[in-house]
Amino acid sequence: MAPPLVLLQDIHLRFGATPLLDGAELSVAPGERLCLVGRNGSGKSTLLKVAAGLLEPDDGTRFFQPGATVRYLPQEPDFTGFATTLAYVEAGLGPGDDHYRAQYLLEQLGLTGQEDPAHLSGGEARRAALARVIAPEPDVLMLDEPTNHLDLPAIEWLESELKSLRSALVLISHDRRFLENLSRATVWLDRGTTRRLDQGFGAFEAWRDQVLEQEETERHKLDRKIVAELDWLRYGVTARRKRNVRRLGDLHAMRKDRREVRRAQGNVKITVTEAETSGKLVIEARAIAKAFDGVSVVRDFSTRIARGDRIGIVGPNGAGKTTLLKMLIGTLKPDSGSVKLGSNLEIASLDQKRAALRPETTLRDALTGGGSDTVMVGGQPKHVMGYLKDFLFTPEQANSPLSVLSGGERGRLMLARALALPSNLLVLDEPTNDLDLETLDLLQEMVADYPGTVILVSHDRDFLDRTVTSVIAAEGDGVFSEYAGGYSDMVNQRGHGVEAKAKAKAEGKASPAAAPAAGKPKETKRRLSFAEKHALETLPKTLDKLRVDAAVLEKKIADPNLYAKDPAAFEKASTALGKIHADIEAAEEEWLRLEILKEELGG
């Protein structure tokens, strides 16, 4: 095996009294593809900075292979002193590097190279920083959250570009699909120390659970041994004094080890406050459109969203996703068309910019509104300290201003605020930003189990696949289409994923309703979506099966001896029959609605 290009051994680093890194290690061989994973606040970014030579540890050794080139992507790039993005990228090149590659990468990432770094958006800054570290094709490329602020086309382009590099990679990311597609080994930073798995991220979570389960087993064994020794100390027969003194010393050592064990950080406890059940129809949009300064952002879009639907909205940055979302929930009026909201709607929303948080507000006041120690959760008062603990905040942080929170902590706080509100329609705009993998797991479970309706905007492909039942995709020039299933299902139906705006236009894929060269934009006739066509084809078969199942249960219940012989079986059959009858009624209503819609649209 080739010697490592970068080697960290027994790295220790403290911030205050608590050790952040406590014997952490990292080895990066030529061409290796590592992902570095761990909780928010576990020290991943700190360890990466130590590996890049940007931060000195308190103790431990760091080795760089002489002559090896290392490039590090920070979460917050510094553009000070650069007049253009091209100048910024070229400053990262070495003497023998190709300067044309800097311009090529900027263009691939949607930049011209002439942008003023002082006026870049978060996404543009991230693209320029990526071009700077990738352009030299270094021996080791260290990337800290490279997909932050990127849209789906940019993320998928970045994956392809990184796969083509010969550089060794060390990745920190909350994007599961990104890690699964690129990593070949996993380093887990947990409670200051590192463990290595020589498999990609796809195998990590099962391995992590085994490790934690084994730790818990060992802890229980130590607890039982301490109890046994205490019993001996109190009631045992006195033997030789030296032996007893040694045994007593062993007991003290065990108790000291037990006290010093650093347990794994607890899980976020995500609960959602349910409101009164909404009507069956949640949102109905008919031919809605919106334009800004003469440019169509949403064009002639129609949909019906029923109670229990989980809708994902995807598209490149600037495609109008948030505009469409705001029109659907009634916070932005369309220029034409209509939006009808169902009855009893209670909306809770998570804003992608975290705009509702004032920097000077404390965590306590952000949750309670100020002047109180309680938060209403599920209609019941809960002490704010307990609710903060559910989202992994310490009591010491309760009176800290929000300005000191990390991105992940701000994301958790916004979730805590949104989920405390009674709701039956949950609106999430980029909910996965800055969340760690464990919190993402729980958010996915919460969305899947949420009794109401969910509409979310996201660039996270794995999150979409795990949570949504249909996807509304931006096709270009303000046209949106709806597809059944998650993101992968949408790709299979379209034949491609989300494309950058310029590419879609260049290839003529922007829209069948794109505006002509001159004159009034051509209107697009509403057509049945893929999901609606599929339902029309499958509902008759579904109804036939339900009626057969109902007939079987009716025959079973008709047996006069069933209740006497087995009351539980009779009750079970009766309950199942009632559910089947309700399913038949719902399926018949849906089939009738789609048939009427089909007739209205001219077949």
Partners of residue 168 on adjacent β-strands: 140
Q: What is the side-by-side strand order in the sheet with 70-73? A: 70-73, 140-144, 168-172, 33-37, 185-190, 193-197
Q: Answer yes or no: is 318 a known binding residue.
A: yes
Q: Alpha-carbon distance 410 to 218, whole Å?
A: 35
Q: Alpha-carbon distance 504 to 541, whole Å?
A: 38
Q: Answer yes or no: is 294 a known binding residue.
A: no
Q: Alpha-carbon distance 24 to 7, whole Å?
A: 11
The alpha carbon dihedral of 224, 229, 233, 235 has a sign of positive
State how far the alpha carbon of 102 is from the alpha carbons of 12, 71, 98, 106, 350, in Å. Answer: 37, 15, 8, 6, 37
Q: Alpha-carbon distance 418 to 350, whole Å?
A: 6
Q: Answer yes or no: is 315 a known binding residue.
A: yes
What crossing angle do the helices spanning 122-134 and 99-108 adopt, rounded to 10°? 150
Closest among 482, 479, 478 to 494, alpha carbons compared: 482
Q: Answer yes or no: is 164 a known binding residue.
A: no
Q: Answer yes or no: is 225 a known binding residue.
A: no
Q: Answer yes or no: is 44 a known binding residue.
A: yes
Q: Burial of 170 by CB count in 10 Å (0-12 exposed, 13-18 middle, 19+ buried)?
A: buried
Q: Alpha-carbon distance 106 to 131, whole Å?
A: 6
Q: Answer yes or no: is 371 a known binding residue.
A: no
Q: Answer yes or no: is 517 a known binding residue.
A: no
Chain mean position to CA 191: 23
Q: Answer yes or no: is 136 a known binding residue.
A: no
Q: Answer yes or no: is 41 a known binding residue.
A: yes
Q: Answer yes or no: is 45 a known binding residue.
A: yes
377 and 387 Cβ atoms separated by less than 8 Å = yes
Q: Alpha-carbon distance 434 to 39, whole Å?
A: 11
Q: Answer yes or no: is 39 a known binding residue.
A: yes
Q: Answer yes or no: is 273 a known binding residue.
A: no
State how far the alpha carbon of 287 is from the alpha carbons of 284, 324, 337, in Å. Answer: 10, 12, 5
Q: Answer yes or no: is 132 a known binding residue.
A: no
Q: Answer yes or no: is 253 a known binding residue.
A: no
Closest among 28, 125, 14, 100 to 71, alpha carbons compared: 28
Q: Where are the beta strands (DSSP E) in 191-341?
A: 193-197, 281-292, 295-306, 310-314, 336-341
Q: Answer yes or no: is 582 a known binding residue.
A: no
Annotated binding site: 38-45, 315-322
Annotated binding site for ATP: 38-45, 315-322
